[in-house]
Structure 1
Amino acid sequence: MSRRIELEVPPQDRGKRLDAWLAGELEGVSRSRVQQLLDAGEVTFCGGERPKANFRLRGGEKIQVNLPEPARLEVGPEPIPLDILYEDKDIIVVNKPQGMVVHPAPGNEHGTLVNALLYHCGDLSGINGVLRPGIVHRLDKDTSGILVAAKNDVAHQGLAAQIKAHSMKRVYLALVHGVVTEPRGRIEAPIGRHPVDRQRMAVTEKNSREAITHYRVLEQFDRYTLLEARLETGRTHQIRVHMAFLGHPVVGDPKYGPRHCPFDLPGQLLHAGCLGFNHPVRGDYLEFTAPPPPVFLQVLGTLRREKKGEG
């Protein structure tokens, strides 16, 4: 099965590239996916002509897009080691390594945290469906740190309610570019999908949601600042987008930071180091901490030595 979408280019969009325009119009479809659809002949003008990606719109064109149904993903248990901080019959708290995807998606069908959890736990909450069982909140692939998963629906609902009420404590360590002069601050800037690059998020008023991040300076270096960032809301890429919006992108961030990183890093230096919440069934408060990964500590060590004049 496939879905057919008919679009008409408004006059004000004259001169835009077709691929960029389509990525902005098709909800949840990235520019690279648009390129694939164009190459496969799934995008046509009203007369049947197959345009190229770099076609410049004139305004008024009627375009038909055929969106094939995505292939179904099979999700199963895989014997992947887990760094477990806490576990009982209702929940499991783990320290996710940098580089691990949380749940399966096209291009990352295996080796995810969900695959590991299914192997270890046997069963998880089914509220989020077959691809995201037990997942109440996420961490980006290259963000390390603490995450809680639900083993049953009651636990899932209890944790989700705390996230919705902004009562779950989620504190991150972030090394950012530049010297942040204010000792602490509150960033309130709505986040939505980037208007052109659908794989990125952006501070925008269009189709966005409220996003609030609190930060505190922990340590300053010549060209960098170590921050503590606390999430009040939890939007996709929130800390990364907010810090880039302030002009202080996270070090090693391939999407929102400088193209060239001075350190040899596998991803951004962002670590979910503290997670606190009320147990979703018993009601008692639990709080967990985990140190940042070795690569994060190595960079901090280098910067501290430079600060002391040790080379």
Structure 2
Amino acid sequence: MIDVPQLTAEEILGRVLHRDGLMLVIDKPAGLPVHRGPKGGPNLEASFDALRFGLPRPPVLAHRLDKDTSGCLVLGRHRKATASLGLLFKHSKISKTYWTVVEGGPAEDEGTIDMPLGRLNAERGWWQKPDPDGQKAITNWKVLGRGDGLTWLAMEPVTGRTHQLRVHSAAMGWPIVGDNIYGNGPRFGEPTLHLHSREIGIPISRNKDPVHVVAPAPEHMRERLKACGWNGQ
């Protein structure tokens, strides 16, 4: 795991991928929590004031990503927009594609994981486990490349359970590289989770096509993506 220092106004402005009157999409760095923790410390929200772009209040989170996940993060620019976005996320109307690099990998080239998830135990809070009596959890996946005992996957969560992609990958026998909770952690000498919110599609206006936003591959994943055939795009 890496810990990222607080972003300056200039740094967070440099991470804006999309901006319109309703929302922003920013490229979240791995290693920075979205919220301030009980002990304080750097967090993404603390930099949001720099993202007002003339509005009276800073934007707010429309959803969240894990501390160690990078990529597309959606912010609502005012209360009504945030409420609309929240409903779109709640009802799975927003398409999300994540890039992961996993250890080993599936034999097939694409498939669906339908595996309910439940909480591991009360002490572990958000940690999850496969649980036949748990909440429905479905992930579609597709192989984008292979190499060096690794597989590069595009994963699309149909449902939005906590840690869904991480638990599903590990339960299938191909944990995400750098997953120190569900996977083999630093076995590859990699302290950073290889899970990136690559693309998001948001149908924010009824009479317009969805807004599609793509986040560039993060620095920490590029070496292994290249080993799996990624061409740098």
Partner SS, residue 223 of structure 2: helix
Give 1:162's match in structure 2, choosing from 88, 91, 98: 88
The 8 Å contact of residues 199 and 213 in structure 2, kept in 1 or not, is answered as yes
Could you list the runs of 5+ residues in structure 2 that have no partner in the other structure? 1-6
Classify 1:137/1:282 alpha carbon distance in 2 versus 1 (closer, same or farther; 3 Å). farther
The 8 Å contact of residues 176 and 183 in structure 2, kept in 1 or not, is answered as yes
**Structure 2 residue identity aligned to 1:288:** V
Shift of the alpha carbon at 1:283?
5.0
Match of 2:221 in 1: 296
Q: CA RMSD in A?
A: 2.4
Shift of the alpha carbon at 1:300?
2.8
Shift of the alpha carbon at 1:106?
1.2
Q: How many residues align structurally?
A: 218
Give 1:81's match in structure 2, choosing from 8, 11, 17: 11
Match of 2:67 in 1: 141
Match of 2:116 in 1: 190
Classify 1:164/1:261 alpha carbon distance in 2 versus 1 (closer, same or farther; 3 Å). same
Matches within 5 A, 1:131-280: 134-195=60-121, 198-199=124-125, 200-206=127-133, 208-263=134-189, 265-279=190-204
Shift of the alpha carbon at 1:255?
0.5
Shift of the alpha carbon at 1:215?
0.3
The 8 Å contact of residues 171 and 229 in structure 1, kept in 2 or not, is answered as yes
- CA distance in structure 1 between the aligned counterparts of 2:31 and 2:206, rounded to whole angstroms: 31
The 8 Å contact of residues 198 and 215 in structure 2, kept in 1 or not, is answered as yes
Please give the TM-score of this superposition, normalised by the length of structure 2: 0.84
**Is 2:217 aligned against 1:285?**
no
Match of 1:101 in 2: 33
The 8 Å contact of residues 129 and 167 in structure 2, kept in 1 or not, is answered as yes
Rg larger in structure: 1
Shift of the alpha carbon at 1:288?
0.6
Shift of the alpha carbon at 1:302?
4.6
Match of 1:123 in 2: 57
Partner SS, residue 179 of structure 1: coil
1:136-174 deviation line (CA, Å, top 9, x unaligned) = 211111111001111212111221222222220100000
Classify 1:151/1:303 alpha carbon distance in 2 versus 1 (closer, same or farther; 3 Å). closer
**Structure 2 residue identity aligned to 1:81:** E
Partner SS, residue 155 of structure 1: helix
1:47-92 deviation line (CA, Å, top 9, x unaligned) = xxxxxxxxxxxxxxxxxxxxxxxxxxxxxx9747210011233211
- CA distance in structure 2 between the aligned counterparts of 1:110 and 1:283, rounded to whole angstroms: 40
Shift of the alpha carbon at 1:303?
5.7
Shift of the alpha carbon at 1:115?
1.1
Partner SS, residue 115 of structure 1: helix
Could you list the runs of 5+ residues in structure 1 that have no partner in the other structure? 1-76, 126-133, 305-311
Partner SS, residue 261 of structure 1: helix
**Structure 1 residue identity aligned to 2:222:** L
- CA distance in structure 2 between the aligned counterparts of 1:123 and 1:168, rounded to whole angstroms: 25
1:260-295 deviation line (CA, Å, top 9, x unaligned) = 4223x3421011110111225875421011221112
**Structure 1 residue identity aligned to 2:130:** V
Shift of the alpha carbon at 1:248?
0.8
